Amino acid sequence: MSIKNIDKNNKTITFDDNTTLNHKKFLHAFREFLKHRVAGETIVPADMERFMRRTSGKNLSLLMKGKKMEGYMEGSMDRMLTKGQKIALATVVTIVFVGIIIYMILESQGYIPG
């Protein structure tokens, strides 16, 4: 089907088979035609089989790696500190407390005028 005539005054489009659409109906039909044909389509589990048929294995593995990293990032957002950060914080706090204790002992012994 191809466009036979476009009437700009009435904002109508006539096709080969004498079907006439006004501007709003044409836009709606055009958007329905483009739906799921434009890049950036959201992939959901229901679409995975269709996606696997249309792409190569390499693209699928890249998609799954991306989803894995996305899941890891979402999961790690809940944690306040990583294991290394907890160890570093505990080390700093311990050093500060030991310093305070040493200061108090030296002050009580008279080495530091208080």
DSSP code, position 7: E
Quick one: pLDDT band at residue 91, thresholds 50, 70, 90?
Answer: very high
Q: Does residue 64 register a pLDDT over 90?
A: no
Is the entire prediction scored with pTM above 0.85?
no
- Does the pLDDT of residue 39 top 60, yes or no? no
Query: Do 5 and 36 belong together in one domain?
Result: yes
Percent of the chain clearing pLDDT 70 (strictly above) = 68
**64 is in which domain, residue-wise?**
42-79
pLDDT the model gives residue 54:
59
| Low-confidence winner among 37-46, 54-63, 105-114 (lowest mean pLDDT) | 37-46
67 lies in the same domain as 102: no
1 and 35, same domain (yes or no): yes
Q: Tell which wins on pLDDT, 102 or 44.
A: 102
Are residue 91 and residue 73 in the same domain, yes or no?
no
Query: CA 26, CA 74: separation in Å to the nearest integer?
Result: 42
Which positions ≥6 away from 63 have C-beta within 8 Å?
43, 51
